[in-house]
Structure 1
Amino acid sequence: MAAETIGIVAACGQFVEQSVKIIQLSKRVHDRFQDAPAEIDAWRQQIESLEKLVAAVEASPALQVEGLKPTIEQAKAVAGKLLGIFEGIDFEKDDGFGHKSWRVIGGFLKEDEINDLFKEIERLKALLGDQIAVININQGHDKFARVESLIQDLGRSFRPGTDEDQCLQDLFITDPLSDRDGIVTAKGRRTPGTCEWIPITEEYQTWSTTRSGLLWISGPPGKGKTFISIFLTQLLQSSKPDDTIIWFFCDNKVTTRNKAVNILRGLIIQLIQKHNQLISRITPTWKIQGTNLFRDNSFETLWRIFEDMLEALKDHEVCCVLDALDECDEASLSSLLFKIENLFEPDEKSTRPHRLKLVVTSREQPECLPATLSTFPYITLGLLEHDIQLYISDQISHLARVKGIEGLPLCQYIEYAFRKRAGGTFLWVSFMARDLEHKTVKEIEHALTQLPRDLPEVYERIISKINPESKTEVGNMLTWLLFASRPLTVVELCGAVQIKPTPYLTKEQVCLGYIQSCGHLLQVSTGRPPNGVDYRVNRLPPLIPVSTKMTELKSEESGACLYVSFVHQSAKDFLRHHSSGLAAMNGPVDSKKTHADITNRLVSLLTMDRPFSPLFDVAKDLPLLPYAVFNWNYHMREMGTDFVTVLDEHKDFFRRASEARDRWWAWYHFEYPGQDPPKDVPLLHMACITGLYHLLEYALLKRNTLLGLLRTREVNRVWGNDQETPLHLMVKQGQDKMVHLLLKYGADVSIKNVRGKTALDGAAFLGPYSVFLLLAASRTSREIIEADAKSSISQRHRATLLHTAARGGHQDICRELVEKWHYDIETKNEDGFTPLLVAVRCQHLTLASFLVKQLGAQTTPRIKILESVFYTRERSRINEALDSLSSNLGVDINATDEDGDSLFHRSYSPAFIMLEECIAAGLDLNKQNQQGETVLHCNFWLSATHERLRLVLKESHLDVNARDNQGCTPLHALVAVAGHPDRAPWSLGLSNLAVLLDFGADRSLTDAHGRTPSQLAVEYLKQGPDEIYIEEGIGSSDEIDEMPCTMSMIVEILSRYATALVDVRVPDHLGEEMGNGDQPAST
């Protein structure tokens, strides 16, 4: 055994001995001294956790590496100081009162010192845990490699076809685990030793040991930020196996990974994957908004849901890594950064209601990133000499093996040349190593004298080497890739650039040749077809780079397509902004002009004069058509006010009535099979659907008197299956600017759609608050709101805007309606529900608390509020919802109505199917109402099966023979209700009789009038004819199915039924599940 190993083992053994003594002594302090510090248990847990890690090092030769020794030696030194303090405490029992007080013995004088030492123990524990995790990762012993994909995991957690399953399908945007694996596949694994300096920095260690916080890691292009992110996700998974680890890798080349809404969707679905109960945090809103919840304009709603989930996990540490945040769409990035900044509030760490620890990696551009994140702890990636040297050695070692030059002077020369030119950029090293791998040994020697200085020179050389004969086609191809809204397939590129086949090569093979000539600029990847049902619901898988050899690219396999994208963001920057980039091939780069050219080309495809056919069929001949259908508006939007040139070029598509536009609409809505999309698509409606502000403005401008009259009619025209105006559509989109424009040009807020809803109704329900305020400011809206507010104080029950806002969960809108427009907070809708009840039924519990505390909503009758919370039918959230009602509204599980009836005294309540959850929340089943009735007198659902009644009797002191104020038992009550068929509840059946009798109900007991249950039944029988007569006796509950509960049957059962006594303590041998139907169990 080496001396270093012996030293580590010895240090480990010494620390373990010290920690055992500290644990014993701290326990004695806790037991002996009543005023000992409250933190003593936490201290003991910290030293125990560190002791386990050190013991693992002592027991595992694989962990006994020199790098761990300093950490263990530090731990030993700290433990020595702690041991000295604890050993100085006199624990003798016979020394009088003084030694029973922590204060008297002077322990409190050392309390600050002990606290500081245990904080150091906590830091060393986190550091050692990270170091062990790194060793395991480098040795391939990590567990993260076996983590299941998101889809596989969620597929087993939620039953197919349920609301939860459908909600998750709509929520899904990308699989972060597959994204991470795809990056590793594309760029290779991390070189051991690199990135490992991050966990030992002061910034990271502080971040790791605090309750919540943000750490920003920034650096220029090619510095390995994404590898650092991958490393950190693996490190956290390995070092914090009991914590929640989530991540998201942004990529501006992939539409599912470049917007703030998509980041939230990716994080939320991971939280649900790891904590299934969190599904209840999103389903109530999803049930109301459907797929609209996941559109770009739903960022605010999704952020509220994300925050809600974090607060629900306040007892769980959540670690999150966001990579390449600079590649997020800048418009949505600003909103995300604003929310992140508020989430952490650096000056109020102690008040944060969550335990989120966030790491962000990015460049320092755009400006909003440093403006927001530089106020938090950050690490700047500089030259990274140590990591670069390791990476160079690793790459050259691989190259030497491939070329057979290991140990030769050439190998040393390559390493010298790389070190001299790398400039701290991993991407440069990767490119150069790949280039040399394709050269002969002699060519390598010559190439080393001409290595480019930096990344721009790498790209410049690629451009300069493109064959002049194909430079035009390659330039056009790069232009399309640079300005497209997503990566294009090889087939789409062929259509975009109009590549022609040669006598011996297909156009796709010609295109691949152009791609190969672009070297390190481009990469080819495989993925599913971009246009189809899968694409429309965002089922695009991660892009997995493959070989670009023509013989190895088989796009027909498994329906896969070949995607073309840029290797790195730096390549796009070079082409767009460098004089030797795209400008050297096609002249100066004018973004608006380029988007205009692309828009013209795409709209030309939409207006081709040909018979209508399904999109899939037409795409066989026009492969660029699907891209045109779904993306022409993106390019037109990017043109800004220059879009008029496209209108002039394609008057047929943008005229008042257009067959071409109808054809586009039919293709655009192909995901609804069996439905005929409405024709005569109005121009204003199209502008609203596609979010084209400038087109909407152009169509509304009053260019002459006749057009002005037409505009007034068109702006309020109803169209589509839902018969909606442009204003209805824009309210759904939630875009303030376009809503304002429509109102400016006369949009009528009062027009109702096919469901009788105005745009104002839609704004109250969907929000956001800013859109509602825009609509509410119009004269028509004021009249509607004033009339609606007056109706809220009348006795007539009807749904008001306040109910609608409560259903949507909008606190600001509710406040506006009550405080400014004087709505009655107690107004009731057709079902008799107040806004408070509506909010509770929709699980908007924060809003419910606001309505009570800020707007004065009454919390009576409490029983109705209590019942409302159970309409969620989501068991996982009930306990928390009940806690919220109790703490914020003063409504507990045992609330009663004016007759003293509790939740389970009622003949029906949505709470019934959650009996076990109610009992766990403290439901008192022993309560009697003012008539002295128990729940067994009133609620026949409880006695419909053996399992339910067993649970009720087991969890209460109830007696099946309990009597009410009239001396009636539950058997009497059952007979009395059956005697009034119009009042008999749905849960009443013959099974109730059998179950009660099996549990010991006494048939001989009499009520206040001296009647047994059987005699009472006979009295009812004498009052009128009974339709059913039982000729044969019933001997057991096996013979009782779903027979109606008629008096003749009741008499027969009470007379002849042979009971099978049931022991409350013994589980039902049938294993009946709670919540099943009301059929009786056999006995």
Structure 2
Amino acid sequence: MNDTTSITTAAGRLVGIADEAVRFFQELDHTTNSVARRVQQLETFSTLAKEIELKPSANDHDGEEQLDLTKQILIYCYKLISRILSRLEWVDNGGRHTSTQQGLLGVYAELNNHEVKDLFEDLHREQLCLVAFRNSRFKPLFWASESDSRPLEYCHAFKDHELNFLNLLFDADPREDRASLQSSRGPTIKGTCTWITETSTYQSWLSGSGDSRGLQIQGGEGRGKTMLAIYLTEQLEQLAACMSTDTVLYFFCNHGNINANSATAVFRGLIWQFCRLRPELLYHGLKRAVSVDEGRIALATNSVETLWQIFTAMVQDPNTGTVTCVVDGLDECDEPSIKTLMERFSELLSSENQGRRNFRVLLTTRQPFQQDNFPIELSTICLNSDAHKHNVEDSQRFINFHVSNMAHEHSWSQDFQEQMNESLTKKAGGSFLWATLAVSGLKGQDEGTAVKYLEDLTGDINAIYENSLLAVPLECRQKIRSILTWIALAYYPLSLKELSTLTGDEFSTPDTAFINLKACLGYCGTLLMTKTEIRRFGSGYETIETVQFTHRSVKGFLLQRYVLRTPTDTDADSTFFQIIPDNGHETLASRCLEIMEKGLKVEAERESSVEYAHILPYASRYWFRHLRECPEKLCDETLAKRALTFLTRNHENRRLWFSYLSNLRDGREDISPISSTPSEHHDTIGGLEEINDNDVVLFEHPKDTTSATQLQALQLACLLGITAIVRKILTSTSLLTSIRQANTRSLRSYSRTRPRSEDRLVKVKRGGVLQLSTAEIVAMTPVELAVLGGHHKVAVLLLKRYPRRSIWKDSSFALATAVSHCDEDMVQLLIEAGAPKLKASRQLEGPICIAVINRRLDVVKFLCCSEANIWAQSNSKLDEVDTSFTVSFQ
């Protein structure tokens, strides 16, 4: 009774102020569209408030939480109208409603002010939420889906430089990813997922009436988090369609795709979708792009800080409206990316951020976030506890749907169908993953075999995977192990054709290899699935069918840091299929090199390259990444010798490799068959830009005669982070000899061009795209190149073997680069190796002051939180912080 009484009171107050606002607006010119629209909006809102006043509870099932949330929304709406009237300087003067100071002209001006418009938008959004909450009972927002409104359409009209900017960002289209997930996982079963929109936690987050603008949906493996994310993005899009300025952005993380498992990938995807939906905001990104040679533009697409600046500028633009951001599977990113994303979203959600009211974020994850890592408290819906009942009901609907289809197909009796529903639901325990695996195993079985299958079916997911592998015929096991290794360790999902070539052997033709692959995949139904992906192809994009794990847990089951096999173990043991990453990456790198050795020559000779053309892009871009993941000492030392042929100066393999990479970057498919110094120089530059992930752009200074072909094998190995190759070179040749060969000539050229160009120290401190001349990159020491690439293991190896040598004497660029990258481990390593410690400013040249001047907030935060042992004096950091305050207020 107390709840309904308080709602009646809140609704009565809202009716009063809404009617007062209506009368005030009625005194204005009704022919003005802005006035007429607001009068109509306030009148309909007053009517709704009166209905709530008369009947606080629209449904008998409304509980205490539901009623409390309704009251919060009513109070919040009262405050919104109060703020609107306050902005218009309205006063109640004995029943006469007047505007002070500004007069009527001021009122009309304020009506078109962004702040007043935003307040009316917020009011409209709350009205929609109230309607939704009162008219729904565990069902989707039909009032939105039945309207004529549609989600914002992608814009296709872009100028050339805008298209170039979008192409720099593009890795995947989130809408296509969502459609692909729906296709691979099957349609959403009617009645599932709808419960979440009725929870008070979700409703409070959606309405904005609560304190939290962040919501996390947390649950164990296979609890249906992704399907909930899919459902909610569709619901949110329908809601946004009713609002003129609302935008819904989303991203589906994928542990098995390098383009979807990092903070930079998430931000690139969100910004790309933002630009396609709201093209008028694209200019925020163009402002942070830089022009390079021949009219090209470059963007620091691997810089979290640059991407975050673009994203926040778009969110906080006065014309943006409310932005809702959904990120599914945040825990599928690497640990540093998870921390980065949590910190960055925290900034936007902070109460100190003036734009926080127009931004909300929803995250799904397996593990709950640690609040000490995420300073802003998130509302939480836990599928394992809070929503376990709803989760079980949804999994039951899923099971009933599929069992019904199988019963019809195999003529199961009604009693048997009910028995299967009951048994499967009980064993599933709310796990969609288990239910999916169980249902897939039932297909094609009659009642007799189905009963036996169900009796033998374990509730342990890993046991199901193990049984699936044990059922593989002995003659197929080696092939299937190779397939699973490639899928587990590849840097992006591979197509059937790519897998066929990569797992083929010298005795099979392409056709027989493809047939064998399809046959082997038939034994992996519980482990593997096909999924559509969009991928770059030349200057455009292509849609391909890829082979992926049915669930992330399959990869976790297969990967083992170390597997001890004894002489008594046979291929019949399931441990035969377990994958040791160190060994696996070495095998994959070897296969990539083998394909390049054969395929690049075929390409260069203009011969038919059907056998390797489709797989050369992957092999050329990722062979060194696989080798990078190997331990310092390889099992197969001949692999290092083969790899060196693609890094050694003047070797034909290196020329062909860079020529092919350069053409990939430019969208061409040919390799120059004629070797010439100028073409090899340009191919080396283009090839390095194609494979570098450090936002480095190489250019030629007008008086720079240095050729990129002067880069030595050691330099390339350090830049690419291949520790095993660096070790091979250091043990087989003199380091001093390598250094002299690498940079004696280039240093002379660099010293001539340096006064005419911006100092590289200044450029690296500024952040963003780092433009280096050919002479500068060729003149770099191995340590500088390792730090530039962010390769800690390589830097450790170099400094451990040659500590405090004169060749590392000038470490200012390496240290500045590590600071610019906010790489704590690298900074500590360089300081311990003898690099000069950081000093406080004398003339505003200190590291924090320079970061403030360059608006490098990431560096400012990094240095302010840094350890005292990297500073020259005990009070150096504090002095530098104090000095930086004077810079920030200038």
Q: Same fold (TM over 0.5)?
A: yes
Match of 1:508 in 2: 514
Match of 2:874 in 1: none
How many Å apart are 1:653 and its aligned residue?
Answer: 4.5
User: Does 2:207 correspond to 1:155?
Assistant: no
Q: Give unmatched runs, 5+ long, in structure 1.
A: 1-13, 33-40, 59-63, 83-96, 103-118, 542-560, 752-757, 794-800, 817-849, 858-1083
SS of 2:194's equivalent?
Answer: coil
The counterpart of 2:409, out of the listed 402, 417, 421, is 402
Structure 2 CA distance, aligned partners of 1:147 and 1:734?
A: 41
SS of 2:378's equivalent?
Answer: coil
The counterpart of 2:491, out of the listed 485, 488, 500, is 485
Structure 1 CA distance, aligned partners of 2:525 and 2:725?
A: 40
Structure 1 CA distance, aligned partners of 2:807 and 2:610?
A: 42
The counterpart of 1:170, out of the listed 159, 168, 175, is 168
How many Å apart are 1:313 and its aligned residue?
Answer: 4.8
Instruction: Check whether the contact 1:684–1:726 (CA below 8 A) recurs between aligned residues.
Output: no
The counterpart of 1:722, out of the listed 749, 753, 774, is 774
Change (3 A) 1:807 1:652: same
How many Å apart are 1:519 and its aligned residue?
Answer: 1.0
In the TM superposition, what are the counterparts of 1:231-270 in structure 2 within 5 Å? 231-240=231-240, 241-242=242-243, 243-270=246-273
User: Does 2:290 correspond to 1:282?
Assistant: no
Match of 2:223 in 1: 223
Cα deviation 1:904-963 (Å, max 9, x = unaligned):
xxxxxxxxxxxxxxxxxxxxxxxxxxxxxxxxxxxxxxxxxxxxxxxxxxxxxxxxxxxx
Change (3 A) 1:370 1:722: same
The counterpart of 1:191, out of the listed 189, 195, 210, is 189
How many Å apart are 1:647 and its aligned residue?
Answer: 1.9
Match of 1:711 in 2: 739
Structure 1 CA distance, aligned partners of 2:546 and 2:482?
A: 17
In the TM superposition, what are the counterparts of 1:226-625 in structure 2 within 5 Å? 226-240=226-240, 241-242=242-243, 243-288=246-291, 293-296=299-302, 298-313=303-318, 316-345=321-350, 348=351, 353=356, 355-364=358-367, 372=374, 375-382=377-384, 383=388, 384-405=391-412, 408-498=414-504, 506-527=512-533, 532-534=538-540, 539=541, 541=543, 561-577=544-560, 584=574, 586=576, 589-608=579-598, 611=601, 613-614=603-604, 619-622=609-612, 624-625=615-616
Structure 1 CA distance, aligned partners of 2:817 and 2:510?
A: 60
Instruction: Check whether the contact 1:334–1:368 (CA below 8 A) recurs between aligned residues.
Output: no
Cα deviation 1:66-104 (Å, max 9, x = unaligned):
87899999999999999xxxxxxxxxxxxxx997899xx
The letter for the 2-side match of 1:381 is L
**Residue range with higher mean Cα deviation, 498-507 or 441-450:** 498-507
Structure 2 CA distance, aligned partners of 1:294 and 1:130?
A: 44
The counterpart of 2:887, out of the listed 846, 854, 858, is 854
SS of 1:246's equivalent?
Answer: strand
The counterpart of 2:640, out of the listed 647, 654, 659, is 647
Structure 2 CA distance, aligned partners of 1:246 and 1:415?
A: 37
Q: Give unmatched runs, 5+ long, in structure 2.
A: 1-7, 27-36, 77-91, 98-121, 564-568, 673-678, 685-708, 750-771, 863-882
The letter for the 2-side match of 1:596 is E
The two structures have a TM-score, normalised by structure 2, of: 0.66
Structure 2 CA distance, aligned partners of 1:54 and 1:439?
A: 59
Change (3 A) 1:717 1:526: farther
Structure number with bigger Rg: 1
The two structures have a TM-score, normalised by structure 1, of: 0.55
Aligned residues: CA RMSD: 5.6
Structure 2 CA distance, aligned partners of 1:610 and 1:504?
A: 18
Instruction: Check whether the contact 1:250–1:327 (CA below 8 A) recurs between aligned residues.
Output: yes
The counterpart of 1:686, out of the listed 716, 721, 727, is 716
How many Å apart are 1:51 and its aligned residue?
Answer: 4.6
Instruction: Check whether the contact 2:787–2:795 (CA below 8 A) recurs between aligned residues.
Output: no
Structure 2 CA distance, aligned partners of 1:450 and 1:509?
A: 32
SS of 2:526's equivalent?
Answer: helix
Structure 2 CA distance, aligned partners of 1:372 and 1:45?
A: 39
Structure 2 CA distance, aligned partners of 1:189 and 1:814?
A: 48
Instruction: Check whether the contact 2:851–2:860 (CA below 8 A) recurs between aligned residues.
Output: yes
Cα deviation 1:9-53 (Å, max 9, x = unaligned):
xxxxx99x9899646654499899xxxxxxxx9999789448569
Instruction: Check whether the contact 1:211–1:355 (CA below 8 A) recurs between aligned residues.
Output: no
Structure 2 CA distance, aligned partners of 1:78 and 1:504?
A: 66
Instruction: Check whether the contact 2:588–2:626 (CA below 8 A) recurs between aligned residues.
Output: yes
SS of 1:319's equivalent?
Answer: strand
How many Å apart are 1:686 and its aligned residue?
Answer: 2.2
Cα deviation 1:847-890 (Å, max 9, x = unaligned):
xxx99972686xxxxxxxxxxxxxxxxxxxxxxxxxxxxxxxxx
SS of 2:559's equivalent?
Answer: helix
Cα deviation 1:563-599 (Å, max 9, x = unaligned):
2111111111122259999972526642212212222
How many Å apart are 1:613 and its aligned residue?
Answer: 2.6
Cα deviation 1:196-228 (Å, max 9, x = unaligned):
232333322332224762111111111000011
Change (3 A) 1:291 1:477: farther
Instruction: Check whether the contact 2:253–2:332 (CA below 8 A) recurs between aligned residues.
Output: yes
Match of 1:839 in 2: none
Match of 2:696 in 1: none
Match of 2:214 in 1: 214
Structure 2 CA distance, aligned partners of 1:392 and 1:812?
A: 49
SS of 2:360's equivalent?
Answer: strand
Fraction of identical pairs, as percent:
20
Instruction: Check whether the contact 1:612–1:663 (CA below 8 A) recurs between aligned residues.
Output: no
How many Å apart are 1:509 and its aligned residue?
Answer: 1.6
Change (3 A) 1:812 1:513: closer
Change (3 A) 1:212 1:459: same
The letter for the 2-side match of 1:271 is F
SS of 1:255's equivalent?
Answer: coil
Aligned length: 712
Cα deviation 1:823-870 (Å, max 9, x = unaligned):
xxxxxxxxxxxxxxxxxxxxxxxxxxx99972686xxxxxxxxxxxxx
Match of 1:664 in 2: 657
Cα deviation 1:116-169 (Å, max 9, x = unaligned):
xxx9999896354267687566799457995476xxx2313x2x32x2232122
Match of 1:636 in 2: 627
Instruction: Check whether the contact 1:144–1:234 (CA below 8 A) recurs between aligned residues.
Output: no
SS of 1:563's equivalent?
Answer: strand
Cα deviation 1:649-686 (Å, max 9, x = unaligned):
65544556533222222222223358652456521342
